């Protein structure tokens, strides 16, 4: 069966590339989506890529897909630091959750350092720029055991 991945993006990420390029780079969210769709093809996976500025919408999406997708990759953006509703919604999902941030949140100011959502994430990727989304997809497929056989062993299996 085809692996189904969901990438969720939180508030303000629709503005990527427009402001604060020194922190978040110049790549737009549309370009990130294009690249993720291309990598989904490499993985033989189906990808849903969504963004919302509304906490409740993100919560609704997690509820909606909880039995339909195999892994969730989430950049919760500003919700990372206070959203108990998103934390609770993610808790009901039983597959891998890859929390992904473009910037290195640990190297930032106090407000941006502690994501409460990390406690329910299977893995956390940050500081790799938009490339982190690709790594998160790969890690999710690895955890699901669905990386295609035609990809090299270090990508499929890694150190044994």
Please report where in the chains the tokens 């940050």 appear, as a residue.
Answer: 126
Q: Is 28 an interacting residue with respect to ligand CA2 (CB under 6 A)? A: no
24 annotated active-site: yes
Q: Which of 80, 83 has the CB closer to ligand CA2?
A: 80
- Tell me if 77 contacts ligand CA2 by CB under 6 A: yes
Residue-by-residue DSSP string for 28-54: -HHHHHHHHHHHHHHHT-EEEEEE-S-
Which span (32-40, 59-67, 77-85, 136-144) binds ligand CA2, by CB under 6 A?
77-85
Token digits of residue 157: 């299996």
78 SS3 class: helix
> Whole-number minimum distance, CB 72 to ligand CA2, in Å?
15
Three-point CA angle 33, 36, 38, nearest 5°: 110
Binding of ligand CA2 by 53 (CB under 6 A): no
- Assess contact for 97 and 72: CB atoms under 8 A: yes
x-or-dash pattern for ligand CA2, window 118-157, by CB under 6 A?
Answer: ----------------------------------------
- The catalytic residues are 24, 101
């Amino acid at each position: 069966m085809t692996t189904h991945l969901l990438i969720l993006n939180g508030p303000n990420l629709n503005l990527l590339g427009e402001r604060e390029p020194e922190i978040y780079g110049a790549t737009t969210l549309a370009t990130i989506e294009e690249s993720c769709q291309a990598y989904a093809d490499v993985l033989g996976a189906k990808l849903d890529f969504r963004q919302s500025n509304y906490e409740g919408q993100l919560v609704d999406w997690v509820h909606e897909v909880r039995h339909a997708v195999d892994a969730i990759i989430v950049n919760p953006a500003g919700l990372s630091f206070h959203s108990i509703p998103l934390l609770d919604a993610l808790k009901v999902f039983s597959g891998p959750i890859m929390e992904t941030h473009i910037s290195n949140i640990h190297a930032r100011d106090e407000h941006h350092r502690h994501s409460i959502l990390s406690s329910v994430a299977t893995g956390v990727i940050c500081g790799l720029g938009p490339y982190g989304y690709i790594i998160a997809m790969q890690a999710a497929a690895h955890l699901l055991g669905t990386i295609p056989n035609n990809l090299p062993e270090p990508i499929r299996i890694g150190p044994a």
